[in-house]
Amino acid sequence: MKTAFRLTTGDDFETAKGGSLPGLPGHDDHLLDAYSQAVIAAAEKVSSAVVYIDVLHRLKGRRAADPRFPREVQGSGSGFIFTPDGFILTNSHVVHGASHIDVVLSDGRRVIADLVGDDPDTDLAVVRIDAPNVTAAMLGDSNAIRVGQLAIAVGNPYGFQCTVTTGVVSALGRSLRSTSGRLIDSVIQTDAALNPGNSGGPLVNSRGDVIGVNTAVILPAQGICFAIGINTAKFVAGRLIKDGKIRRGFIGVSGQNVPLPRRLVLAHNLPVESAIQVMAVEPNSPAEHAGLRAGDLIVAYGEHPTAGIDDLHRLLVEEKVGVRAPMTIVRRSERRVLDIVPQESPTKG
């Protein structure tokens, strides 16, 4: 099949500028204008709350002692003010372990910021500034968004302040693995372009309400970007402001996901066909106190089956800390139930 191409003449260009092209309905120009107006209004509403975050990280170990290397390295990212008294949401990987944090406001003011708390497990953090006359972004509802709706990202990629990119919500309910190894649930996928420096900036809807916190891209793919849902961010930010951290359960094992032999599944009427094989047990941990051993297969925690490590992570929430629960294991083809009391997860440095 042949494809025909036609060069645009000067007359065609005038038609394209001022009128409707042949075969296209006349109202398409109005649709484009409506799209532009939506992006402009949303960007203007949120941009004054978007900040540039400049951080210094003090090197540790041998590199810190080596005179060939600087003692501190610089990093940067984005964030947005979400309360009138200067609380700012950003990503944990932007500010975690920082020795100094500066925030540059949309009007050019540079202010020293204090780290309120960060949570590597959700890649979220809260910092605070003491500055008058700041504008707070409006927070939306990430449960109300739909696939295909307009998504607008605002941030500071490569230091270019208040850069606006647009796209759509590509998918909902994605899971993204954080630097700590835990899965972040209810992640928004978007094709609004994100680049280094966008991390921590807002993803907003057509009304300018924040629906997510931009966090990651998949390289070298194009148009596959992710944002933490704002409902998750609201919960985490509230706990960080209150306690400075998020409490989670810890049992003290390292393990890997393994398939279960079919005979074991049938013999014990197990609800899963895979389990967590314990590779090591930390000394003086809840797992050791409960009698867990290397080689055991964890198949359930409480009344919930655990087909893998991610299932166990989802169950070890704050409410489980200090609460005794039965853990079902298979040891040398024998099914056993151990009582375990999770401790609070130790703080990661």
How many alpha carbons fall within 13 Å on the CB side of residue 269?
Answer: 0
Given 76, 142, 199, 345, the catalytic residue = 199
Is 123 catalytic? The answer is yes
Structure-block tokens of residue 164? 């606006």
Of 119, 54, 49, 121, nearest to 87 by C-alpha is 49
- The token pair at 151 is 């998504």
119 classed as catalytic: no
Tell me the H-state helices in the chain.
Answer: 10-18, 28-47, 62-65, 92-95, 230-243, 262-268, 286-290, 309-315
For residue 220, say if its preceding peptide bond is cis, omega within 30 degrees of 0: yes
Residue 127 CA from chain centroid, whole number: 16
Q: Give the integer Cα–Cα distance in Å for 130 and 135.
A: 13
251 CB-side CA count, 13 A: 28
Pick the closest to residue 247 from 132, 167, 344 (CA basis): 344
Number of alpha carbons in the 13 Å side-chain half-sphere of residue 270 = 29
Active-site option among 93, 119, 313, 345? 93
Cα(58)–Cα(237) distance, integer angstroms? 25
* C-alpha–C-alpha distance, residues 253 and 21, integer Å: 66
Among candidate residues 118, 123, 209, 296, the one labeled active-site is 123
Q: Are 221 and 194 in contact (CB under 8 A)?
A: no
> 336 - beta bridge partners?
329
Q: Rounded distance, CA 128 to CA 109, Å?
A: 15
Q: Are 279 and 125 in contact (CB under 8 A)?
A: no
d(CA 244, CA 246): 7
Active site residues: 93, 123, 199
